[in-house]
């Protein structure tokens, strides 16, 4: 079935329970030699735990093109958030930064971002450098090589109920975790039902996500800080990240080709990188974005906008990206030929 998030293979769940890989192996796929790691349930807590090591009211510098929902724990702890302007590609202008305790460079949609200016900003201000690789599948050239800390979100890119990784490179790890997360049974039941249903039933299933392109998600309560579930730890330890990366690149290439003939938009990036999170397409204007988003929703095909910008952001480039970029799924659990359904739905959009 075609879904935004990857659907779990029941045989992988069974294998994870039967083989029961050790919990300490869960983060191995995200660590480089010499790295230390801490595994949490949700990635939104990673930045807050790191900021908590920097003293009272730390100054955290982030690109203005950033997801507001991910900032709830930082806001709750009283961090001083500084939003740095971005260029038309979404790359932050770190040269304009004069003060910070933490610089957060984001590998948006799993595409490596240049880090030279972020490193220079850290040298100038004395800040630590955090690579936010929540959209990245795993370490890759340009990802996870430079930061004092690197953040990954397996729960966003793999079929598992929770799981996020903080990598420390020659730095101390924060403390955190607490009791194991709940909600695994509900997640598992929903995912197995989706897996079992044929794709022809998709039009009769209620759609998730926002109804229209310019809608933002409803405000949600801040998730509690907790450790990942035992199921997620086992699935992380057993994940074949190389195979998943290859499937994502293949799906992104097929989807690019399928929608290439449509005027009015173009891929946000010249290439898809080591393991794309989504295929990001930038429309020539908001009207085109709204029409194509609506056409895909009408066809009951997964489509997203991103992100819900922080209310403080008035950067025209960040706002322009929010009002023009459409995201289509490319994860490895999608059925062969799914890209043709997208092309068909968009013919008259």
Q: Per residue in 208-261, pLDDT tens?
A: 899 999 999 888 788 889 889 888 998 999 899 999 999 999 999 999 999 998
Residues 216 and 87 both lie in one domain: no
Q: Residue 55 maps to which CATH number?
A: 3.40.640.10
In a domain, 297, yes or no: yes
pLDDT class of 22 with cuts at 50, 70, 90 = low
Residues 263 and 151 both lie in one domain: no
Residues 151 and 298 both lie in one domain: no
Residues 66 and 203 both lie in one domain: no
Distance CA 31, CA 25 (A): 10
Half-sphere exposure for 150 (CA within 13 Å, toward CB): 28
Distance CA 232, CA 349 (A): 40
pTM summary value:
0.95
Q: What is the strand order of the sheet 59-63 is part of?
A: 36-40, 164-168, 149-152, 128-133, 102-106, 59-63, 80-84
Residues in the chain: 349
Note whether 241 and 328 are within 8 A (CB). Answer: no
Residues 219 and 145 both lie in one domain: no
Note whether 92 and 86 are within 8 A (CB). Answer: yes
Q: For tokens 């090589």, what's the residue?
A: 145
Residues 41 and 150 both lie in one domain: yes
Residues 145 and 269 both lie in one domain: no
Q: Residue 333 maps to which CATH number?
A: 3.90.1150.10
Let me know the angle formed at the C-alpha of 141 by 3 and 272, rounded to the nearest 5 degrees: 40
Distance CA 90, CA 317 (A): 7
pLDDT class of 20 with cuts at 50, 70, 90 = low
Q: How far does CA 293 lie from the centroid of its chain?
A: 20
**Which H or E run contains 106?**
strand 102-106
| C-beta neighbour count of 173 within 10 angstroms | 15
Residues 97 and 211 both lie in one domain: no
Residues 105 and 163 both lie in one domain: yes
Lowest mean pLDDT among 166-170, 172-176, 319-323: 172-176
Q: Among 150, 168, 186, where does a domain finish? A: 168
Reading the block at residue 312, the tokens are 């403080």
The pLDDT score that the predictor gives to residue 91 is 96
Residue 83 has pLDDT above 80, yes or no: yes
In a domain, 301, yes or no: yes
CA distances from 281 to 7, 231, 270, 272, 304 (A): 23, 34, 11, 11, 11
In a domain, 54, yes or no: yes
Lowest mean pLDDT among 11-25, 34-48, 239-253: 11-25
The pLDDT score that the predictor gives to residue 220 is 79
Rounded to an integer, the average pLDDT of 165-188 is: 86
Q: Which domain holds residue 278?
A: 198-223+239-345
Residues 60 and 139 both lie in one domain: yes
Note whether 82 and 93 are within 8 A (CB). Answer: no
Greatest C-alpha distance within the chain: 56
Residues 154 and 215 both lie in one domain: no
In a domain, 232, yes or no: no
Lowest mean pLDDT among 45-59, 103-117, 217-231, 281-295: 217-231
In a domain, 289, yes or no: yes
Residues 124 and 208 both lie in one domain: no
Rounded to an integer, the average pLDDT of 134-140 is: 97
Query: Residue 184 burial (CB < 10 Å; 0-12/13-18/19+)?
Result: middle
142-151 own/partner pairs: CB under 8 Å, 24+ apart: 142/107, 142/112, 142/113, 142/115, 143/107, 143/110, 143/112, 143/274, 144/30, 144/32, 145/32, 146/115, 146/119, 147/105, 147/115, 149/50, 150/30, 151/43, 151/46, 151/47
CA distances from 251 to 76, 258, 287, 338 (A): 39, 10, 27, 9
Note whether 84 and 61 are within 8 A (CB). Answer: yes
Q: Among 152, 168, 184, where does a domain finish? A: 168
In a domain, 103, yes or no: yes
**Structural domains counted in the chain:** 2
Exposure letters 55-91 (e unless 16+ CB within 10 A, then b): eeebbbbbbbbbbbebbbbbeebebebbbbbbeeebb
In a domain, 177, yes or no: no
């Amino acid at each position: 079935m075609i879904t935004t998030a990857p659907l779990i293979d029941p045989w992988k769940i069974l294998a994870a329970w039967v083989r029961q890989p050790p919990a300490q192996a869960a983060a191995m796929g995200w660590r480089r030699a010499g790295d230390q790691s801490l595994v949490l349930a949700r990635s939104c807590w990673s930045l807050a735990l790191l900021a908590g090591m920097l003293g009272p009211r730390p100054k955290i510098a982030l690109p203005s093109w950033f997801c507001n929902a991910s900032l709830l724990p930082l806001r709750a702890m009283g961090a001083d958030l500084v939003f740095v302007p971005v260029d038309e590609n979404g790359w932050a202008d770190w040269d304009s930064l004069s003060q910070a305790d933490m610089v957060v460079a984001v590998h948006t949609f799993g595409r490596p971002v240049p880090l030279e200016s972020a490193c220079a900003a850290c040298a100038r201000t004395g800040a630590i450098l955090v690579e936010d690789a929540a959209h990245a599948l795993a370490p890759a050239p340009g990802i996870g090589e430079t930061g004092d800390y690197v953040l990954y979100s397996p729960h966003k890119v793999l079929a598992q109920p929770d799981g996020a990784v903080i990598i420390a490179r020659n730095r101390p790890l924060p403390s955190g975790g607490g009791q194991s997360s709940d909600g695994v049974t509900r997640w598992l039941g929903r995912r197995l039902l989706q897996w079992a249903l044929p794709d022809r039933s998709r039009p009769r299933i209620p759609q998730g996500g926002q109804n229209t392109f310019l809608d933002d998600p409803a405000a949600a309560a801040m998730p509690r800080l907790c450790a990942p579930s035992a199921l997620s730890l086992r699935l992380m330890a057993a994940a074949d990240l190389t195979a998943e990366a290859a499937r994502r690149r293949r799906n992104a290439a097929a989807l690019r080709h399928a929608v290439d003939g449509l005027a009015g938009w173009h891929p946000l990036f010249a290439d898809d990188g080591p393991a794309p999170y989504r295929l990001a397409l930038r429309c020539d204007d908001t009207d085109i974005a709204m029409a194509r988003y609506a056409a895909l929703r009408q066809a009951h095909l997964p489509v997203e906008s991103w992100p819900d910008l922080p209310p403080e952001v008035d950067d025209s480039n960040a706002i322009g990206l929010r009002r023009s970029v459409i995201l289509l799924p490319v994860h490895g659990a999608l059925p062969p030929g799914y890209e043709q359904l997208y092309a068909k739905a968009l013919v008259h959009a």
